[in-house]
Structure 1
């Protein structure tokens, strides 16, 4: 039973995400860290709430639903136009930056200083995400 479950889960994962990539692993790490730092910051402020935490988990699940949706869009675009995949990558970068900013906000709520290399990393991610702006898509004939 365990082997069958693992095999089915692997096939579903491969279809939804196209396999493990470094950016997908980074997103998983940042989502988990954001949730943990959010709990820590709320506890520090005396505002810890199981109801808020429950909805936080729902939001995190939705992030991965959006990434899966973006991957399926990539599959359709590749099939229809034979252009390289970019929607999933842009979506992952968007959520990585979003999670990093949230982690920094949680660190601020905990009165922790933010190292400048982390701030620079966010700028780099934002720059890579902007590589997928509307002008780039027009050059690739995606309307």
Structure 2
């Protein structure tokens, strides 16, 4: 019983530290990592179930994941640069302090993409997948993409 309580306390401590250090953005990173891991696992399971496991396809999937991570890291750097410029312009005073904008949008888009892939993999494994789940994910993904497009097309 003491081991269980110690494990629970450790888990709570980790989540508390994550929240204290990174707030909502930290949780977005955790969800991003969990969704990418979940997509890998369900993809492997679906391939095994269907009998079409190929290491070449698995490698391509892992390279795809690495590309997603690189794209998110680029948005982190871009947000950092934008923040430096906006927060340190001596001639312009903004009524806010810029921290992040593009990275949460990019991560949310990738999370929704990964969740869609997890749903596809669940269907390949034989689970009935309601159409409204696929439609909701596509709708939210399109909304996030549209928000990002609006940011880059401001006049």
Q: Which residue of 2 is the match for residue 76 of structure 1?
A: 81
RMSD: 2.5
Q: Measure, in 2, the Cα distance between the counterparts of 1:105 and 1:96.
A: 14
Normalising by structure 1, we get a TM-score of 0.70
Once the two structures are superposed, residues 89-123 of structure 1 have per-residue CA deviations (whole angstroms, 9 ceiling, x without a partner) of 11101100110110111111112023689558634
Q: Contact 1:74–1:86 (CA<8 Å) still a contact in 2?
A: yes
How many residue pairs get aligned? The number is 122
Which segments of 5 or more consecutive residues in structure 2 lack a partner in the other structure? 1-20, 88-97
Alignment of 1:88-127 (within 5 A): 88-114=103-129, 122=137, 123-124=139-140, 126-127=142-143
Residues 128, 56 of structure 1: alpha-carbon distance in 2 compared, 3 angstrom cutoff: closer
Q: Does 1:132 align with 2:153?
A: no
Q: Measure, in 2, the Cα distance between the counterparts of 1:55 and 1:133.
A: 28
Q: Measure, in 2, the Cα distance between the counterparts of 1:94 and 1:120.
A: 15
Once the two structures are TM-superposed, the CA of residue 74 in structure 1 deviates from its matched residue by: 0.4
Q: Measure, in 1, the Cα distance between the counterparts of 2:27 and 2:131.
A: 23
Once the two structures are TM-superposed, the CA of residue 132 in structure 1 deviates from its matched residue by: 3.3
Which segments of 5 or more consecutive residues in structure 1 lack a partner in the other structure? 1-17
Q: Measure, in 2, the Cα distance between the counterparts of 1:80 and 1:138.
A: 19
Looking at CA atoms only, which structure, 1 or 2, has the larger radius of gyration?
Answer: 2
